Chains A and B, each alone.
Chain A
Amino acid sequence: ETGVTQSPTHLIKTRGQQVTLRCSSQSGHNTVSWYQQALGQGPQFIFQYYREEENGRGNFPPRFSGLQFPNYSSELNVNALELDDSALYLCASSLGSANTGELFFGEGSRLTVL
């Protein structure tokens, strides 16, 4: 059974650029959630995808968007990057959208915006 994998692990962008982060969910999981963890803070919920549809969204602007593919992998896209977007982006997968709290996290993609 493979765990949640994310790529890239680290990347550096400049203000105004766009970035795409990728996530492969744990085998058998059909739900993917994305979280942003700024330095010294707890993770904050961005959005969740269930069966290729956005199933819920946190307090993030529309320039944060996502996709889920038929194999349940997912992408997080951020347009018009701002300095405050510098953070660790965590992907978590789970089985079903109903809440059990059993989220399995990847190791994250660390984004630095200069």
Chain B
Amino acid sequence: AQSVTQLGSHVSVSEGALVLLRCNYSSSVPPYLFWYVQYPNQGLQLLLKYTTGATLVKGINGFEAEFKKSETSFHLTKPSAHMSDAAEYFCAVSPISGYSTLTFGKGTMLLVSP
């Protein structure tokens, strides 16, 4: 069975500061890895994903994440936070075979102060 742990239900940063949202996964084999963002009263939007190849992946809105197999981690970063980044962020995993299903973490709410 796969599982995802997101450290910190809330993360607060100042505008312009580095954003770091942590995600660790548990899986018998390395899964596919994703970050989704959810703005208030909206559905989930894919930020970025890792399937194969380069372990540093870049996504939309200046976000990137690095897959570290040895640490079973897939932390999300952004060099400089913007007020519009305030939202809830979900890390998710899925098996590399079989049908497409996502196992999500509990989410991290990113708060950005001026």
Task: Please list the residues of chain A having a beta carbon within 8 angstroms of any beta carbon in chain B.
Answer: 4, 31, 33, 35, 40-45, 48, 50, 55-56, 58, 90, 92, 94, 97-108
Contact = CB atoms under 8 A, between A and B. Distances in A.
Which of B32, B92, B98, B100 has the most CB atoms of chain A within a 10 A radius of its CB?
A: B100
B99 A50 contact: yes
B100 A33 contact: yes
Given A42-B106, A90-B43, A101 B94 contact: yes
B87 to A, nearest CB: 14
A19 B99 CA distance: 27
Contact of B46 (A4, A42, A101): A101
B47 to A, nearest CB: 11
Contacts of B34: 101
Interface string B99-110: 111111111000
Which 8 residue pairs spanning A and B have beta carbons closest together?
A42-B104, A105-B43, A99-B100, A105-B44, A56-B99, A107-B43, A97-B99, A45-B101
B41 interface: yes
B102 A103 contact: yes
A101 B38 CA distance: 16
Interface residues of B, number: 29
Contact of B100 (A40, A44, A97): A97
Interface in B32-86: 32, 34, 36, 41-46, 49, 51
A100 B98 CA distance: 10
B102 A45 contact: yes
Interface string B3-31: 01000010000000000000000000000
A43 B45 CA distance: 13
Given A43-B90, A94-B100, A105-B43, A99 B32 contact: yes
A99 B49 contact: no
Given A97-B99, A101-B102, A43 B44 contact: yes
Contacts of B100: 31, 33, 48, 94, 97-101, 103
A55 B99 CA distance: 7
Nearest to A50: B99
